[in-house]
Structure 1
Amino acid sequence: MIIADKAVLAGTARDASGPGWSSLRLLVKSDGMGFSMTETRVFPGAVLNLHYKNHVEACYCIGGRGTVVELESGTSHDITPGVLYAPNAHDRHEVHVAGPDPLHLICVFSPALQGDEVHGPDGSYASS
């Protein structure tokens, strides 16, 4: 049984952040589940240009409002609580925050993240 308490994980190597975002890694590769799960916040005013070349992800919104833009097509999707988005084909995408509150997401990555990754210059995480 794995028990992950965000109060215990906060401030550890599993508490990653970068310009405009923070991500608490609740499950990571060393947990042996084959996927990772994060609690991620994208802060107001942030625009994240992302391209997960080595992972697929699914993000479920539990708070805030934002937009995800598919960069190849320009298609824009509103993200609000209760909406999931999953760039399942390694889609290049941008995440924009709308409003005064952070976009609050629960994200799953496959393969699992190590736990301390931050985005590279191209918006990706390195291979796990």
Structure 2
Amino acid sequence: MIVRNLNDIENTDRTIKADNWESTRMLLKNDNMGFSFHITTIYANTETHIWYQNHLESVYCMSGDGEIETLADGKIYPIEAGTLYILDKHDEHLLRANKEMKMACVFNPPLNGKETHNAEGVYPLEAEIVE
């Protein structure tokens, strides 16, 4: 059994910070569950270009509000507490936060832990493993 508390691992090597967000990776590839689980904060008044070409992601908004714009069709979807969105087709999108958003995120295949978005908004398929 694996038991972890978010308060115990925030601000450790399991928390990755970028300009628009920070993500605490609670479950990673080396945990051998077949997916990874993260608690991610999207900073207020930001826009992040994301295009997970190598991963599928489900995201549940726990607090805050914003929107997603899918770039293929220009559709805008409001995001607020209680919203789940699923990037089931490697959807290229812009994620905008009006207020700081706390998100619970699941990735398949699982992340190793050190991934950050490249210039195209993509996480690499393999990255440095967090022990």
TM bucket (normalised to shorter chain) is over 0.9
Give 4+ residue runs of structure 1 displaced > 3 Å after superposition.
none
SS of the counterpart of 1:109? Answer: strand
In the alignment, what sits opposite 1:125? 123
Amino acid in structure 2 at the alignment position of 1:96: R
What do the CA deviations read for 1:59-109 (whole angstroms, capped 9, x no partner)? 0000000101101100000001111011110010010012xx311100000
Amino acid in structure 2 at the alignment position of 1:13: D
In the TM superposition, residue 10 of structure 1 has moved relative to its aligned partner by 1.8
SS of the counterpart of 1:124? Answer: coil
In the alignment, what sits opposite 2:60? 60
Amino acid in structure 2 at the alignment position of 1:115: G
In the TM superposition, residue 7 of structure 1 has moved relative to its aligned partner by 2.1
- Count of equivalent residues: 126
Normalized against structure 1, the TM-score is what? 0.95
In the alignment, what sits opposite 1:114? 112
In the alignment, what sits opposite 1:94? 94
**Gap runs ≥5 in structure 1:** none
Amino acid in structure 2 at the alignment position of 1:103: M
Percent of matched pairs sharing the same residue: 33
**Gap runs ≥5 in structure 2:** 127-131
Normalized against structure 2, the TM-score is what? 0.93
